[in-house]
Amino acid sequence: FHDDVEILEDDWDLRVLRHFDNYPACGLAGFGGGKGLGSDDIYKSPYSPHQLARQDFISNMVDAENHGKRFIGECNVAVLDGFALIVRREVLEKAGGWPLNTPIGYACYDYWLSCMTRRLGYRIRLVGVACEHLGGQTFVKLGIGKDPKHWQQYLDSHQYIYDEFRDVLPYEVP
Could you read off the pLDDT tens digit of each residue along the chain, which spans 174 residues?
998 899 999 999 999 999 899 999 999 999 999 999 999 999 999 999 999 999 999 999 999 999 999 999 999 999 999 999 999 999 999 999 999 999 998 889 999 999 999 999 999 999 999 999 987 666 666 666 677 778 888 899 999 999 999 999 999 998
pLDDT at 141: 62
pLDDT at 151: 83
pLDDT at 144: 62
Q: What is the pLDDT of residues 132-152, one digit of tens each?
A: 998 766 666 666 667 777 888
| 107 phi-psi bin (left φ>0, alpha ψ -120 to 50, beta other) | beta
3 state DSSP class of 125 = strand
CA proximity to 78, closest of 43, 40, 126: 126
First to last CA, the chain: 27
Query: Sign of the CA dihedral 42, 101, 4, 147?
Result: negative
3 state DSSP class of 170 = coil
pLDDT at 7: 97
pLDDT at 103: 96
> CA–CA separation, 107 vs 158, rounded Å?
8
| CB neighbour burial string for 83-95, b if at least 16 within 10 angstroms, e if fewer | bbbbbbeebbebb
Between the CA of residue 152 and those of 103, 108, 146, what are the distances in Å?
Answer: 10, 13, 12
Between the CA of residue 102 and those of 6, 35, 68, 158, 159, what are the distances in Å?
Answer: 30, 26, 31, 11, 11
